[in-house]
Amino acid sequence: MKKIFLALIATATLSLAEATALSSTEQEDPGISKLRSKCDNNNTLACVNLAMAYYSGDGVKQDYEKAKELNSKACNLGDGWGCTTLGASYEYGKGAEQDYKKASELYSKACNLGYGIGCTNLGILYEHGKG
Protein backbone atom coordinates (compact mmCIF):
# COMPACT_ATOMS: atom_id res chain seq x y z
CA MET A 1 0.00 0.00 0.00
CA LYS A 2 2.85 2.34 0.89
CA LYS A 3 4.54 1.69 -2.50
CA ILE A 4 1.30 2.48 -4.36
CA PHE A 5 0.91 5.73 -2.43
CA LEU A 6 4.51 6.74 -3.19
CA ALA A 7 4.04 5.85 -6.87
CA LEU A 8 0.91 8.05 -7.01
CA ILE A 9 2.76 10.97 -5.43
CA ALA A 10 5.67 10.57 -7.87
CA THR A 11 3.27 10.45 -10.84
CA ALA A 12 1.41 13.55 -9.63
CA THR A 13 4.68 15.41 -9.12
CA LEU A 14 5.89 14.55 -12.62
CA SER A 15 2.56 15.58 -14.16
CA LEU A 16 2.69 18.91 -12.35
CA ALA A 17 6.27 19.48 -13.50
CA GLU A 18 5.29 18.76 -17.13
CA ALA A 19 2.30 21.12 -16.96
CA THR A 20 4.46 23.88 -15.49
CA ALA A 21 7.12 23.39 -18.18
CA LEU A 22 4.52 23.57 -20.95
CA SER A 23 2.90 26.72 -19.62
CA SER A 24 6.19 28.50 -19.17
CA THR A 25 7.33 27.96 -22.76
CA GLU A 26 4.81 30.52 -24.07
CA GLN A 27 3.92 28.91 -27.35
CA GLU A 28 1.72 31.30 -29.28
CA ASP A 29 -1.80 30.22 -30.10
CA PRO A 30 -2.18 29.63 -33.87
CA GLY A 31 -5.24 31.90 -33.95
CA ILE A 32 -3.23 34.74 -32.42
CA SER A 33 -0.43 34.18 -34.95
CA LYS A 34 -2.95 34.34 -37.79
CA LEU A 35 -4.49 37.58 -36.44
CA ARG A 36 -1.04 39.12 -36.02
CA SER A 37 -0.09 38.24 -39.59
CA LYS A 38 -3.32 39.69 -40.99
CA CYS A 39 -3.01 42.83 -38.87
CA ASP A 40 0.57 43.26 -40.10
CA ASN A 41 -0.97 43.29 -43.59
CA ASN A 42 -3.39 46.09 -42.57
CA ASN A 43 -6.49 43.93 -42.04
CA THR A 44 -8.36 46.19 -39.60
CA LEU A 45 -10.73 43.45 -38.39
CA ALA A 46 -7.73 41.32 -37.44
CA CYS A 47 -6.16 44.31 -35.64
CA VAL A 48 -9.24 45.00 -33.51
CA ASN A 49 -9.73 41.30 -32.74
CA LEU A 50 -6.09 41.01 -31.72
CA ALA A 51 -6.49 44.16 -29.63
CA MET A 52 -9.46 42.56 -27.85
CA ALA A 53 -7.33 39.49 -27.12
CA TYR A 54 -4.64 41.69 -25.55
CA TYR A 55 -7.23 43.73 -23.66
CA SER A 56 -8.84 40.64 -22.14
CA GLY A 57 -5.76 38.41 -21.95
CA ASP A 58 -7.42 35.80 -24.17
CA GLY A 59 -4.66 33.68 -25.71
CA VAL A 60 -1.98 36.25 -24.89
CA LYS A 61 -0.70 38.02 -21.80
CA GLN A 62 -3.04 40.90 -20.95
CA ASP A 63 -1.52 44.14 -22.19
CA TYR A 64 -3.66 47.30 -22.36
CA GLU A 65 -0.91 49.30 -24.07
CA LYS A 66 -0.58 46.71 -26.86
CA ALA A 67 -4.37 46.73 -27.25
CA LYS A 68 -4.27 50.53 -27.55
CA GLU A 69 -1.50 50.33 -30.15
CA LEU A 70 -3.47 47.83 -32.27
CA ASN A 71 -6.69 49.84 -32.02
CA SER A 72 -4.74 52.94 -33.01
CA LYS A 73 -3.50 51.17 -36.12
CA ALA A 74 -7.05 50.10 -37.04
CA CYS A 75 -8.38 53.61 -36.38
CA ASN A 76 -5.65 55.18 -38.51
CA LEU A 77 -6.65 52.80 -41.29
CA GLY A 78 -10.23 54.14 -41.07
CA ASP A 79 -11.91 51.50 -38.92
CA GLY A 80 -14.73 52.85 -36.72
CA TRP A 81 -14.55 49.96 -34.29
CA GLY A 82 -10.82 50.59 -33.79
CA CYS A 83 -11.50 54.29 -33.16
CA THR A 84 -14.27 53.48 -30.67
CA THR A 85 -12.22 51.01 -28.66
CA LEU A 86 -9.23 53.36 -28.77
CA GLY A 87 -11.52 56.09 -27.46
CA ALA A 88 -12.54 53.78 -24.63
CA SER A 89 -8.87 53.30 -23.73
CA TYR A 90 -8.62 57.05 -23.19
CA GLU A 91 -12.00 57.36 -21.52
CA TYR A 92 -11.24 54.69 -18.93
CA GLY A 93 -7.46 55.10 -18.71
CA LYS A 94 -6.67 51.53 -19.82
CA GLY A 95 -3.36 51.52 -21.67
CA ALA A 96 -3.42 55.31 -21.94
CA GLU A 97 -3.67 58.20 -19.55
CA GLN A 98 -7.32 59.09 -19.00
CA ASP A 99 -8.19 61.90 -21.38
CA TYR A 100 -11.86 62.69 -22.08
CA LYS A 101 -11.02 65.19 -24.81
CA LYS A 102 -9.01 62.59 -26.73
CA ALA A 103 -11.75 59.99 -26.12
CA SER A 104 -14.39 62.37 -27.52
CA GLU A 105 -12.23 63.08 -30.60
CA LEU A 106 -11.89 59.35 -31.26
CA TYR A 107 -15.58 58.65 -30.68
CA SER A 108 -16.38 61.52 -33.05
CA LYS A 109 -14.07 60.02 -35.69
CA ALA A 110 -15.77 56.64 -35.26
CA CYS A 111 -19.16 58.30 -35.57
CA ASN A 112 -18.08 60.09 -38.75
CA LEU A 113 -16.94 56.73 -40.11
CA GLY A 114 -20.48 55.44 -39.59
CA TYR A 115 -19.84 53.38 -36.46
CA GLY A 116 -22.92 53.99 -34.30
CA ILE A 117 -21.41 52.92 -30.99
CA GLY A 118 -18.87 55.72 -31.41
CA CYS A 119 -21.78 58.17 -31.76
CA THR A 120 -23.45 56.72 -28.66
CA ASN A 121 -20.27 56.89 -26.58
CA LEU A 122 -19.68 60.47 -27.70
CA GLY A 123 -23.23 61.39 -26.68
CA ILE A 124 -22.75 59.79 -23.27
CA LEU A 125 -19.55 61.78 -22.71
CA TYR A 126 -21.35 64.99 -23.66
CA GLU A 127 -24.32 64.11 -21.45
CA HIS A 128 -21.93 63.81 -18.50
CA GLY A 129 -20.04 67.00 -19.41
CA LYS A 130 -16.83 65.15 -20.32
CA GLY A 131 -14.67 65.75 -23.36
Check residue 27 and give its pLDDT: 61
pLDDT given for residue 29 in this prediction: 83
Domains of the chain with bracketed CATH:
28-127 (1.25.40.10)
Give dist(CA 60, CA 26) in Å, integer: 9
2-12 in b/e form (b: 16+ CB < 10 A) is eeeeeeeeeee
Residue pLDDT tens, the chain, 131 long = 444 433 334 333 333 334 433 343 356 688 999 999 999 999 999 999 999 999 999 999 999 999 999 999 999 999 999 999 999 999 999 999 999 999 999 999 999 999 999 999 999 999 999 97
What is residue 26's predicted lDDT score, i.e. its pLDDT?
52
Upper half-sphere CA count for residue 76 (Cβ side, 13 Å):
9
